[in-house]
A and B are shown apart, each in its own frame.
Chain A
Amino acid sequence: MPHSRLVLSVFFLIFLTLSGCEAPKKPVTIFEEQMMVMGTIVNVTIANEEQKKSEKAFHDLLTDFKYMQAAWNPWKKGSLARINQLLPMQSGFSVGPALKDMVERSVDLEQKSQGLFNPAIGKLVKLWQFHQDEMPAGPPPGDEQIREILSANPKMSDLKLEGLTLLSNNPDVVLDFGGFAKGYAVNKAIDHLKAIGIENAIVNAGGDLRAIGSKGGAPWVIGIRNPRAEGVIASLKINGDESVFTSGDYERFYDYQGKRFHHILDPRTGYPADLSSSATVVHNDAAVADAAATALFVAGPEKWEEIAKNMGVAQAMLIDKTGHIFISPALKRRISFTDEKSLKITVSDKLTFK
């Protein structure tokens, strides 16, 4: 053949080039373990790390979470319980740095959420019996009792923090960091993983998670559960270091005489917020995401955009009681719905900052 040499040379060149490619020798190693702590199941996923290192990291996190759970229980003996006992005395006392930080951040977040995120209503939470791990059985508290606490109007802004000294101006303030502690704890967990050199991981505390790095180069894929039906309603690829938190009316609840009462209380009415079925927030900071998801859930379809903007949340999604989805453009761009045709989706025109 006249061109045989040319053909052969081309083939040889292609062959040389291809043989320079490194075929992936091993698939990504995934370490996945779970622990029962903080009243829920915490899943830790680590990619591309030696088994021993992952196991040690997991046990470190287990120890940390157990400590945080005990320290931040509003009523049982621990750091937060102590604070709650001293607050009604309305005089200054010292607090540890972790709780000081939580108080500071909560004051800020309460203000930005226009009071919809309010961890100072611990008394109300206890009245509804949502302050413990076990699910209450009902009956719900009476109007009288609720109004009594509401009229005292406990707020984070009732607290003054100077250095490590905390003081309350309102004897009815009881701190319950339910809508914030998970986020805060997840932050601490990821910080610890980063500190020991783990760069690719997901810490998922009962469905609320923060993910860093990737799965061997491919982004972590997060599925968001449908609040009303089985299965995943949307999925999201993680870019770098992000948290995905959802507050829903299906997480902790009880039924009493045919009516459902869930654990996300509206601080304005004293009753479970009933404008939404779920609110999802994507944000770098897990604590902000946690607080914002709670606040947006309470805010409902009319007010969520205003609150999101105030709290610096650009990526959020709210599903109301009819299944109507409200979503910010920044989130709509990157999320993919499982069956978009069957959903009613409204993209916000007010949350246009990035």
Chain B
Amino acid sequence: MKLTAPDKIVFSLSILFIVSLYWGLWQASDEAYEVEIFISGEKNYRLDLHENKRLAVKGKLGDSIIEIKDGQARFISSPCNTSFCVRNGWQSHGGDFAACLPNAVSLHLVGGGKIYDAINF
């Protein structure tokens, strides 16, 4: 069939558009995009990792302070005596988690390119 000039323009633009979709969305999907915060095993929060904030999560012993920044999350402080959770530092990949067991507060990252059904460590 005969393709006119406008046809060719439309086609090229469509191809460009779709390619940009792959490029834009599939790169971003390699990072974790949300964090779930559990208190005593119950999911209490599900927050966007790209909305920077600090929040106090009330657990068994008191408040754990969690920080969310630029696609990462971490414990800043916790009322337990060893702060293992804080020492774990920034979590940035889907499936990563940090937990303050004495305070029964944990954070888990959701998303990221490869999705595993379970992580062994």
Contacts and interface: CB of A to CB of B under 8 A. Distances in A.
| A adjacent to B, CB under 8 Å | yes
Interface of A: 33-36, 39-41, 43, 45, 133-137, 202, 204, 207-209, 211, 215, 220-225, 227, 230-232, 235, 244-246, 248, 251, 254, 280
B121 A207 contact: yes
Interface string B64-107: 00000000000000001110100000001101110101101010
Nearest to A234: B120
A189 B40 CA distance: 20
A246 B99 contact: no
Pick the most buried of B92, B102, B106, B119: most chain A CB atoms within 10 A of its CB.
Answer: B119
Contacts of A224: 119-121
A221 B114 CA distance: 10
Pick the most buried of A39, A136, A230, A232: most chain B CB atoms within 10 A of its CB.
Answer: A232
Contacts of B6: none
Nearest to B116: A223
Given A36-B104, A135-B82, A232-B95, A209 B118 contact: yes
Nearest to A278: B121
Contact of A221 (B80, B96, B106, B116): B116
Interface residue SS majority, chain A: strand
B118 A202 contact: yes
B101 A45 contact: no
- What is the size category of the interface that chain B forms with chain A? 20 to 34
B84 A135 contact: yes
B114 A232 contact: yes
Nearest to A235: B116
B24 interface: no
A39 B101 contact: yes
A222 B121 contact: no
B120 A215 contact: no
Given A41-B97, A41-B99, A223-B95, 7 more contacts: A135-B82, A202-B118, A204-B118, A223-B114, A224-B120, A235-B114, A254-B82
A230 B119 CA distance: 12
A36 B84 CA distance: 16
B20 to A, nearest CB: 28
Nearest to B95: A223
Nearest to A224: B120
A226 to B, nearest CB: 9
B99 A232 contact: no
B119 A232 contact: yes
B118 A134 contact: no
A208 B120 contact: yes
Contacts of B7: none
Nearest to A227: B121
B117 A230 contact: no
Interface in B20-64: 38, 40-41
B118 A222 contact: yes
Contacts of B84: 135
